[in-house]
Structure 1
């Protein structure tokens, strides 16, 4: 189940250079923007676009060392991503059934409804299937970002531990 409180998910995340706890301007919302798109769903093209762009943005931040996440945050993000991906294959198959016009009768109205249903499923870039694919790609990018961000966090923690050990050794030598 996806958590109701996304702030709890973001609690284990940090944006900025490793070791920094101050987010660069505008970057602190990247994870929230990504997750809010997941909640809006594939019927909203803007939400699908936010998920896709958000996943790529998170990965870019992580690769440049500007995003780090501790184990608790990592697990929460992965849970949200896996929740979506677990249902994705079922959703895409179900929506794929709508790409064939249903035999709804011979009237013009029945034909129009059947044609409309096909268009909603896969008629253009705003329809369900392209939106689902956009969202899946964004979620996959976010999963990759989380692995990188967890590594960033661990490296930061290791650096802090070494600095503390050196400081402690210096104090003991005095």
Structure 2
């Protein structure tokens, strides 16, 4: 079953139980461009759907590790928001045509179109938030599975 939960071209069909691991291991191996940001966001959506469907579970230690990665990006992005807002406005570089062209070019690179820095950072931030939500669900899946196994073993021990 191809889940698309990893990056870099069409996803291969992962062995059962590996789709979540493949996505997580490739989470930070994405270039910061429009296509990379799109792949992270789409992969995060699929990763969350995988967890919601019970196709991925994670123990507490794994959750803590990946949560830290997600929170580092999300918090760093939130801290940069004001600086990014400033980049979206033309700097005062003088009154010449060339100075205005440079200032306008800088705005375009920062926030002027879907290929620019700010929209792609927003897309990445959204993706990391979805991954974070998926991890919460996957941790819940793991706990529920562990609880079910514990109850089964308790019943088996009680019937001996």
- Whether TM-score is above 0.5 comes out as yes
Q: What is residue 23 of structure 2 aligned with on the other side?
A: 30
Q: How many residues align?
A: 147
Kindly state the Cα deviation for residue 32 of structure 1 after the two structures are TM-superposed. 2.5
The corresponding residue for 2:141 is 152
**Residue ranges of structure 2 left out of the alignment (5+ in a row):** 1-13
1:155, CA displacement in angstroms?
Answer: 0.8
TM-score normalised by L of structure 2: 0.81
| 8 A Cα contact 1:99 1:121, kept in partner | yes
Partner residue of 2:62?
73
8 Å contact kept, 1:53–1:138? yes
| Secondary structure, counterpart of 2:57 in structure 1 | strand
- How far does residue 103 in structure 1 lie from its aligned partner after superposition? 1.5
Q: Shift of residue 81 of structure 1?
A: 0.9
Contact 2:109 2:116 in 1 (8 A): yes
| CA drift at 1:27 | 5.5
Report runs of 4+ in structure 1 exceeding 4 Å deviation.
Answer: none
Check whether the contact 1:33–1:51 (CA below 8 A) recurs between aligned residues: no
Aligned equivalent of 2:104, options 111, 115, 118: 115
> d(CA) in 1 for partners of 2:92 and 2:61?
50
Are residue 168 (structure 1) and residue 126 (structure 2) matched? no
Q: How do 1:7-18 and structure 2 match up within 5 A?
A: none
The CA distance in 1 between the partners of 2:121 and 2:61, in whole Å, is 28
Comparing 152-161 with 105-114, greater Cα deviation is found at 105-114
Q: Secondary structure at the match of 1:134?
A: helix
